[in-house]
Chain A
Amino acid sequence: MDLGFSHRIEKEALELPHWIKEFLRFGFEFFEKKNERRRIAIFSVPTRSIGPGLVVVGALCARLSEDAADDIQHHFDRIRNSVLKRRGPQKEILRKANQKGLYEPIAVLSDVNLIQVARIDTADNLKLTIGLKNCTSWYFEGEMPIISSRYSRVDHLDAYRMLFKKLSKNAAFNLQLSDSAICFAGLGSGKSSTYALYKDACFEVDGKSFSLSFLMSILGWSDDAAPRVTYYNTRTKSLDRRVSKPKLVIADGLAAMLDVLNSSTFESSDVICFYERALDRNSLEDVSNQISSSYQWYKRSTSPINFTIPSIFYVELEEK
């Protein structure tokens, strides 16, 4: 589907169309805004657009500026928890990056906050320790490493910088690591067809072309860049990576919206959702009922993020 966007960003004059800037700014400000109460933003849109993808990129850029905006702590906690599972049916095996060998977590050395692992595929019973600093060299058997030389590509930092000039110094370091604070719940049609929607929308920076799908930084969409956004498949009701619970979910379409708002996986996450309002009355009533039932726990936000694109309706709710 042609969603009609290709834009060249000149080095000096960044002048994007108003609607593109609105979506990017909204994503950035919504993520950046610190609020202790859970927030739900709902957009009623007249037609399908790349808006949800732009909001993802906006939020991703806000996240890039934060300290420790990566999966390291979660990864370390997971290795730590795997010690407890070692005798059960769901025991997990570890591998060390660029080295042979399978390791089993055997003990937590609490006083030094280290985890002891033992090699199990040879008789030497080699024992090593994993700490918060070196845990990124370890990954679970059958999964992707959370950092490796594969993720050295950070040239898209320039593209993010052209979109958001105030990106902090953290961004370059953060871009090398995977992160799962932001989740994108795509259309029910699946990950590859959702990808197809975004791959044709391109930004051109200094002669290099960056597709929106690349900048959304979802595993498998961004070649050799570290995944910074997880993907939730509405049809299979599963995430594409084993991660901690996201801080923010962006849901594209009615099915994703209803699914995310009713899923226990996202019960503590902020949510931004989009639905195309050219729906049958029954579906519109489903949306209405969803919002009405939320009103027990939520109220209209007193200081919503400003958003103005003609023909788009927007409401922001926050926990009472």
Chain B
Amino acid sequence: MISLNDYSQFWSALTCLEISRYRFMCSDILALVKATSNLMSIIKSNIDEEEVEEIVRMRSFLLRMILTPVAFNEEFFESLSFLQNKRYIMSVWGKEAASIAETINNIRHHFIFKGNPLRSLLAEILSDLYEKKINFRIFCPRPDRVKFTEILPLLERSDINYFIHSSHDFALEDLFDVLVTVGPFQAKGWQRTPDAVFTVPKTPKILNFIWDNVFDDKDIGFDPVQKISGSSLPKIQIIEIPIRVESLQPTLPLNDEQATNLLSLIPKSSSSLVENLVLLQISKLKGYLVSQVSEVLTLDLQDNDQMLAKRQAKTLVAGETFIILPDITAFDIGKVENRKGKYSEIWKAELKSRMDRDFPSLVGMLDAAGLKRKDLTGALERWIKKASNVIHAPKRLTDFKRLLQALELNNNDESWTMEAWREIVYSRAQAIQDGMVSQELIDFELSEKLGKILPKILSQVKNDQFTVSIPDESLVKGWLNFYRIQSIDFNLIGPEKSVGSFVNIQDVVQWQK
């Protein structure tokens, strides 16, 4: 990290931040985006379902084409291969769709033949920077890194970390000579550029590769105190370098941002999107999407005090942490003869009678038995409720035992206590099936038992993924899947239905506002 003294000197000497912008003028790109977007609209209007697979694939395809230096090859255009079946398109979506599909196919063939001009120039310039030993960095979302290392594999083999993937990475960087970026400068979404690129510039020069008809966010380079205080940011000088690309479609004079903004032409996802998500990447292609504030069962090898614990997603650190995803096959409810609340009737009646008779002395007894809670009165009120679908009772067996001890009901009869407990657990298991109680009970049951099999777990941590069976004595039956967290991306947007599940890394690009 650079010292304040050195940075202030750099800032004082920085007359302007120069952005050399290689703008690729290609009417085929605009035509392809318009045609594909039209086709998406036709498909949408024909189908009632929220998001069909074809639409998701087309949106993801367009965004990757516009925002990343992807290779224009058969593999990339694979997601549009279904358009080659003219009869199918005609019969399912009609004549207009078939005509659009033909336009798309023509451009597709042309692109595969000619390659991606943006990627070609980027490759040339990156090689040049590398050979001349210029101290440069590349900013891109982490999953797009591979698109740069495919161009110049030496980037991955070097001792220097050429990549910046987040504001956090940017903060840790020292000064360097050149920053390379692809696509527009956006404040939010997957492709967002750190505001610090403009508010804490670490370089006097940016090389930006961008398709025409793609526009920067106007409020990029935000800092609240700078805004209020009216302090000056370094002046930005954009040097436009237009690159005309040979196209099949005629070049049109395009001045209307509303009509030509490639990103706004693409129909937005109709899935309901949620913010503040974290993507835990567990392999090159897969990630697990969770809410930043959700608690995730994890194994943290660097936490010597508590390796196994539930941790908030936003506090996780990649590398030595595994997420643990249980694969539950059964929930053992044991033998319960009368599942409607035979035992609960007895202890609840006794509890109610004690509460009515002498509440302070009951509290004293509970305290002496070790059952201490801040909201004890509220909890007692809940526990005396009659058993319905759920038997309201202490969450933990130890607390339940303490309650029975205070009520003088266990009388050295462990089996009575355990039968009463099983009755409670059964009611909860039933409620889980009914969707009334959350995953919490299962998580609790697992975290209680996991410590016992820690040595078994630790013997496997050299692997990035492994499975361990749940200890026999647990009420929960099944396996635990461990996945090493390779990298983490914060503050993402994603579809509500994908939260708490695995997603394809390539799809993440389409979830933007």
Contact = CB atoms under 8 A, between A and B. Distances in A.
B167 A17 contact: no
A2 B1 CA distance: 8
Contacts of B166: 280
Interface string A272-303: 00001111111010011001000000001000
A4 B196 contact: no
Contacts of B223: 44, 277, 284, 313
A5 B171 CA distance: 20
B167 A46 contact: no
A309 B4 CA distance: 9
Given A47-B7, A49-B3, A281 B171 contact: no
B226 A45 contact: no
Contacts of A311: 4, 7-8, 11-12, 200
Chain B CB count within 10 A is highest, among A48, A49, A281, A284, for: A281
B99 interface: no
Given A46-B11, A314-B229, A282 B4 contact: no
Contacts of A47: 1-4, 7, 171, 200
Interface string B172-185: 00000000000000
A51 interface: yes
B383 interface: no
A14 interface: no
A205 interface: no
B8 A4 contact: no
B276 A4 contact: no
Interface in B186-200: 187-188, 192, 194-196, 199-200
B276 A282 contact: yes
Interface in B223-269: 223-229, 231
A310 interface: yes
B6 interface: yes
A281 B192 contact: yes
B222 interface: yes
B224 A291 contact: yes
Given A282-B491, A314-B229, A315-B225, A46 B3 contact: no
Given A47-B1, A309-B8, A287 B224 contact: yes
A308 to B, nearest CB: 10
B322 interface: no
A179 to B, nearest CB: 28
Contacts of B229: 313-315
Contact of A280 (B11, B200, B490): B490
Contacts of A281: 167, 187-188, 192, 195, 222, 491
A123 interface: no
Contacts of A49: 3-4
B7 A46 contact: yes
Nearest to B6: A4
B170 interface: yes
B228 to A, nearest CB: 5
A3 interface: yes
Nearest to B9: A310
Interface string A93-127: 00000000000000000000000000000000000
A47 B201 CA distance: 11
B459 interface: no
Nearest to B226: A313
Chain A CB count within 10 A is highest, among B4, B200, B227, B231, for: B4
B222 A46 contact: no
A279 B167 contact: yes
Contact of B1 (A1, A291, A309): A1
Interface in A1-37: 1-5, 17, 19
Contacts of B491: 280-282
Chain B CB count within 10 A is highest, among A3, A44, A49, A278, for: A278
Contacts of B196: 277-279
B501 interface: no
Nearest to B169: A278
B5 A17 contact: yes
A44 B233 CA distance: 12
A20 to B, nearest CB: 9
A279 B225 CA distance: 13
Contact of A277 (B9, B168, B187, B199): B199
Given A47-B200, A315-B228, A3 B8 contact: no
B187 A43 contact: no
A4 B7 contact: no
A172 interface: no
Contact of B225 (A3, A43, A48): A43
Contacts of A1: 1
Contacts of B1: 1, 47-48
Contacts of A2: 3
A47 B3 CA distance: 7
A30 to B, nearest CB: 16
Contacts of A300: 228
Contacts of A5: 3, 5
Nearest to B233: A313
Chain A CB count within 10 A is highest, among B188, B196, B223, B224, for: B224
A42 interface: yes
Contact of B5 (A19, A45, A48, A280): A19
Nearest to A289: B224
Contacts of B490: 280
A100 to B, nearest CB: 34
Contact of A310 (B2, B11, B187): B11
Contacts of A48: 1
A50 B188 CA distance: 32
Contacts of A19: 4-5, 8
A279 to B, nearest CB: 6
A316 to B, nearest CB: 9
A126 to B, nearest CB: 35
Given A19-B8, A284-B195, A310-B11, A278 B3 contact: no
Interface string A166-200: 00000000000000000000000000000000000
Contact of B200 (A42, A43, A46, A282): A46
A44 B223 CA distance: 8
Nearest to A4: B3
B235 to A, nearest CB: 14
Chain B CB count within 10 A is highest, among A42, A282, A291, A314, for: A282
A313 B8 contact: no
A51 B7 CA distance: 14
Interface string B146-181: 000000000000000000001110110000000000
Contacts of B167: 278-281
Contacts of A291: 224-225, 228
Contacts of A314: 225, 229, 231
A104 to B, nearest CB: 25
A300 B230 CA distance: 12
Closest 6 pairs (CB-CB, A-B) = A278-B171, A49-B4, A4-B3, A278-B196, A311-B11, A44-B225
Given A2-B3, A284-B224, A310-B9, 4 more contacts: A46-B199, A46-B200, A281-B192, A313-B226
9 contacts: A19-B5, A47-B3, A47-B4, A276-B171, A281-B222, A284-B222, A288-B222, A311-B8, A313-B225
